[in-house]
Chain A
């Protein structure tokens, strides 16, 4: 157990739907990062939050949004889902805002859009 908790582990939904992925960072970690892993794109950075504030944005689609709550857990919202959004979504956390010690990853949420 890495200490980073992601729920749900698996999600199957239809095109056009909206889903919410949840992440609880490791105790004491203030930064949360979201990554998407797909066969064709590899591991892509989506977005980072640090202590409740957005700090960096990557290749995140406008249909996707995220937030970090006062208790530091984070949610990634995916809307108007398309088949191509099927992927493994990882959340990671780090103690330092700059992530220099490396991230601790959760076990991921496998999203399948049918």
Chain B
């Protein structure tokens, strides 16, 4: 079974600064997908960024980028130019790659990010 670990329960960052969230995972699979989801106080789960394990290039979505280290099974999220609206709980998630339907997301415990003005 896959496990996802987020070792930082809470982080704070000043507005306009950069913060990096850690995520490690354990799997014996070679092909899989990794995701970061954001859950603001509204509790909506919002997909932030997605990475395919067979792609070496790190994914980037505007101010959000990842550092994917497959050998180390590490998938960190960097938020640049932090904005007040980035205040949220961030979840790292793993999904193994299978052509057949039936793939679940396995989530980490989350990291609470507080952006301070």
Residues of A within 8 A of B (CB): 2, 31, 33, 35, 42-43, 45, 48, 50, 55-56, 58, 88, 90, 92, 96-105, 107-108, 110
Residues of chain A with a CB closer than 8 A to B95's CB: 99-100
B103 proximal to A (CB < 8 A): yes
Residues of chain B with a CB closer than 8 A to A43's CB: 91, 105, 107
**Alpha-carbon distance A99/B110, docked complex (angstroms):** 21
Residues of chain B with a CB closer than 8 A to A58's CB: 104
B contacts with A, residue count (CB < 8 A): 26
Chain B residue at smallest Cβ distance from A104: B47
Nearest first, the 5 closest Cβ-Cβ pairs linking A and B are A97-B101, A56-B102, A105-B45, A45-B104, A43-B107
Contact partner of A45 (CB less than 8 A), chosen from B42, B45, B99, B105, is B105
Residues of chain A with a CB closer than 8 A to B43's CB: 88, 107-108, 110
Known: A55-B101, A97-B102. 20 other contacts (CB 8 A): A2-B44, A42-B107, A42-B108, A42-B110, A43-B105, A43-B107, A45-B104, A55-B102, A56-B101, A97-B100, A98-B99, A98-B103, A99-B101, A101-B50, A102-B35, A103-B45, A105-B37, A107-B44, A108-B44, A110-B43
Chain A residue at smallest Cβ distance from B107: A43
In terms of DSSP, what is the predominant structure of the interface of chain B? loop
Residues of chain B with a CB closer than 8 A to A42's CB: 107-110
Residues of chain A with a CB closer than 8 A to B98's CB: 98
Q: Please tell me if the beta carbons of A100 and B104 are within 8 angstroms of each other in the complex.
A: no
B106 proximal to A (CB < 8 A): yes
Q: Please tell me if the beta carbons of B103 and A56 are within 8 angstroms of each other in the complex.
A: yes
Distance (whole angstroms) from the CB of A43 to the closest CB of chain B: 4
- Tell me the chain B residues, 67-87 only, with Cβ under 8 Å from chain A: none
Chain B residue at smallest Cβ distance from A2: B44
**Alpha-carbon distance A58/B108, docked complex (angstroms):** 16
Chain A residue at smallest Cβ distance from B36: A102
B55 proximal to A (CB < 8 A): no
Residues of chain B with a CB closer than 8 A to A92's CB: 45
